[in-house]
Structure 1
Amino acid sequence: MSTSPLPGDASNDPTEDQTGRFVRQPNGRVRPLSPHLQIWRWHVTMLGSILHRITGGALSGGAVLVVLWLLALAFGPGAYATFTGWMGSPLGLLIWFGLTLCLAYHLAAGVRHLIWDAGEGLTPKSANALATGSIVFGVVVSVAFWAGLFMTGRVSL
């Protein structure tokens, strides 16, 4: 399907466009140029969407860490001590905190999507509120969880 101007409208003729809004494809067809981030205004729902995808990928990496933990458990006390030594280090605790943050946010974003799938919260104001709420929920739950771990002495630096 080729792009064609409206009948009698010479201003929309893509072959005469000098603004750079159209590009000629290798097959010779003239197509409108897709908008880029310079044109779009930033929204919190965009951030929520990007974070949801990133946290999903990070949780896949976290699943690999859980498998490594189970393998260390299966290979005996020496392997398990090595694994817990690495994961109990400050860098390991930072990784676990990050995974907790990813899990809490991904859960909240999943609930947000369930609400949207039900046809609710789709106005810009409510969508922004749900996106902001899911980000805040993820941070608050993660910090509270790890604060509880440190305060009860289950984790220490």
Structure 2
Amino acid sequence: MSLTHDPRDAAFHGRRTDGSPVRRPLSPHLQVYRLGITGNLSILNRIAGCAWTGGILLLVWWLVAAAAGPSAFATVQWFLGSFLGLLILFGMTAAAWYHTLGGIRHLVWDAGYGFDLPTVYTSGYAVLIGTGVLTVLTWIVALIVW
């Protein structure tokens, strides 16, 4: 019996049902997978959903501060008007548009359409381009009205 130098190595040694020793294979991690556009967009959709959840918490902070009084509301408004606040709001806008457009794409798939490979790529790129265009347009309109 040999001693292992790496404690993790012990987890990969085992025995078959007949008692003969066997070395179990290591499970690959993310770096070995080559995800296509659908896999990457799916992961990005989940990230956008989490970012949107964080944005909802920011909205709750803003509403609570508005109910708490002018001093608390001024603090939140100062933060949202700062460079970091505007950057967060811009990111929230992009996450909201991406999550919305990705959701529409999934609704089309749920209806049974758009599964052929060229359409999958086209709709994926349309979601990315649409997110960029709609985010910028939203901010142009917001800055004009503001």
TM-score calculated relative to the size of structure 2: 0.78
Partner of 2:48: 55
Equivalent of 2:133, from 112, 121, 140? 140
- Kindly state the Cα deviation for residue 130 of structure 1 after the two structures are TM-superposed: 1.1
Q: Matched residues, percent identical?
A: 42
Flag the 1:26–1:122 CA change in 2: closer, same or farther, 3 A: farther
Letter in 2 for 1:54: I
Which amino acid counterpart does residue 40 of structure 2 have in structure 1? L
* Structure 1 residue 131 displacement after superposition: 1.3
Question: How far apart in 2 are the matches of 1:27 and 1:74?
Answer: 65
Q: Which runs of 5+ in 2 are unaligned?
A: 1-11
Runs of 4+ in 1 over 4 A off after TM superposition: 24-39
Q: Residue 85 and residue 127 in structure 1: after superposition, are their counterparts in 2 closer, same or farther (change >3 A)?
A: same
Cα distance in 2 for partners of 1:133, 1:44 equals 12
User: Which residue of the other structure, out of 83, 95, 109, is the alignment partner of 2:88?
Assistant: 95
Q: Matches of 1:108 and 1:27 in 2, distance apart?
A: 51
Extract unaligned runs of 5+ from structure 1.
1-23
Paired with 1:27 and 1:99, the residues of 2 have a C-alpha distance of 52
Alignment of 1:7-156 (within 5 A): 28=16, 36-37=29-30, 39-150=32-143, 152=144, 154=146
